[in-house]
Copies of this chain bind each other. A is one copy, B any other.
Amino acid sequence: MALKVQKFGGTSVADIERIRNVAQRVARAYDKGDQLVVVLSAMSGMTDKLIALAEEASEIPDKRELDVLLATGEQTTAALLAMMLKSMGYKSKSLLGFQAGIKTDKSAGRARILDIEAKRIKALLDNGHIVVVAGFQGSDTNGDITTLGRGGSDTSAVAIASALKADVCEIYTDVDGVYTTDPRICAKARKINIISYEEMLEMAVLGAKVLQIRSVEFAKKYNVPVHVRSSFSEEEGTMVVNESSDMESVVVSGITCDMNETRITLKKVPDQPGISAKIFSPLAEAEIMVDMIIQNTRSGGETDVTFTVPTVDFKRAKEISEQVGNKIGAKEVLTAEDIAKVSVIGLGMKSHSGVAATMFSALAAENINIRLIATSEIRISCVIKAKYAELAVRVLHTAFGLDNPTQS
């Protein structure tokens, strides 16, 4: 008998028929003898609809009240699933965030879980119930409803799994696991059977939208085994677990591609101490997340500063950069919107040399020019022209031996 937390995302509960599919799946697991806590998202599209409603009501909706409104989405799916399970003859109860003991801080709209008082969940499990929990929500010390931000149901599930010391946290989604790269770009992409938290974090940050970043951080911190799998098949998915020694035999686990960044370069900036702070403080104040930063020293006491920002923030970032550029005496501000960031990720990099060389050679062989390079312990990212993005992903996928053997 295993204690499992199962989380089903928005597409898995998109309508009554899909919720019924979830109910049947949950019932089968219960019949096998598992103890189950089921965490649900809102029906897909629901949260966006509610946000649109709030924006009709108020240009800048009050965050506390927006959370009260958004929480109805998961309340709806949780009630419907528990209702179905009851009518199928199972003991089941839905619990909202506050009833499930999910205590958060007071940051409306992006609350962090402080603690889970799992007393009620445990009592219901001991009593043979399938416990259905509304994901994405909790309550703060005032008893006010809070939400955890986009994809927060993943975090709810992992946090509950951690509090219950569950055997596994299963994340059911519309894909059947984490892939070596985006299968829409590279037909040879393979499902990864096992991946470390660290690699998954890099994959998530870089655009593989399977798991919310914070849920992976949470899983890593409390060592919760996470199983990402499809709610539409019985196939095993991808296990996300603690790094183990045999994982390092794989040098590169995956290739990611992010098309949502834009490059800004301040040319010929006077090379003085404090110049970086002058450039990046105004961007930070405007809450623009700067990703890569490269500084090349030129001759003559001048330097070029290049960085990337999310494309959604590009317009504001450009304005700010131009103001700053004028102030500090930059000769020119250049921008490039047609860029892509291609990254190779792998725990094995820690112990294998030559990954960068392989990457650069593979791109060079296709005449793909690298504009920027950034590295972390387990990742190398190159900014290239956007038009080469798909080609680069396929070339790197082959170069690092990730191609699906049955299709290669």
Q: Hey, which bits of chain A sit against chain B, CB under 8 A?
A: 16, 19-20, 50, 53-54, 56-62, 64-66, 68-69, 71-72, 75-76, 78-80, 82-84, 86-87, 93-94, 96, 98-99, 143-145
Q: Is there contact, CB below 8 Å, between B68 and A96? A: yes
For the complex formed, measure the closest distance between the CB of A62 and the CB atoms of chain B, giving whole angstroms: 4
For the complex formed, measure the closest distance between the CB of A50 and the CB atoms of chain B, giving whole angstroms: 8
Q: Is there contact, CB below 8 Å, between A75 and B72? A: yes
The residue among A66, A68, A98, A143 with the most chain B CB atoms within 10 A of its own CB is A68
Q: Is there contact, CB below 8 Å, between A54 and B69? A: no
Q: Which 8 A-B pairs have the closest CB atoms?
A: A58-B87, A69-B79, A72-B72, A68-B79, A65-B83, A62-B86, A65-B79, A16-B56
25 contacts between A and B (CB under 8 A): A16-B56, A19-B57, A20-B57, A54-B83, A57-B80, A57-B84, A58-B84, A58-B86, A58-B87, A60-B87, A61-B83, A62-B83, A64-B93, A65-B83, A65-B86, A66-B79, A66-B83, A68-B94, A69-B75, A69-B76, A69-B83, A72-B72, A72-B75, A75-B75, A98-B98
Q: Dominant SS at the A interface?
A: helix
How long is the Cα–Cα vector from A65 to B71 in the complex, in angstroms? 16
Copies assembled: 2
Q: Is there contact, CB below 8 Å, between B68 and A75? A: yes
How long is the Cα–Cα vector from A60 to B87 in the complex, in angstroms? 7
A71 contacts which chain B residues (CB < 8 A)? 75
Give the residue name and chain of the B residue nearest to A80 (CB).
B57
A54 contacts which chain B residues (CB < 8 A)? 79-80, 83
Give the residue name and chain of the B residue nearest to A58 (CB).
B87
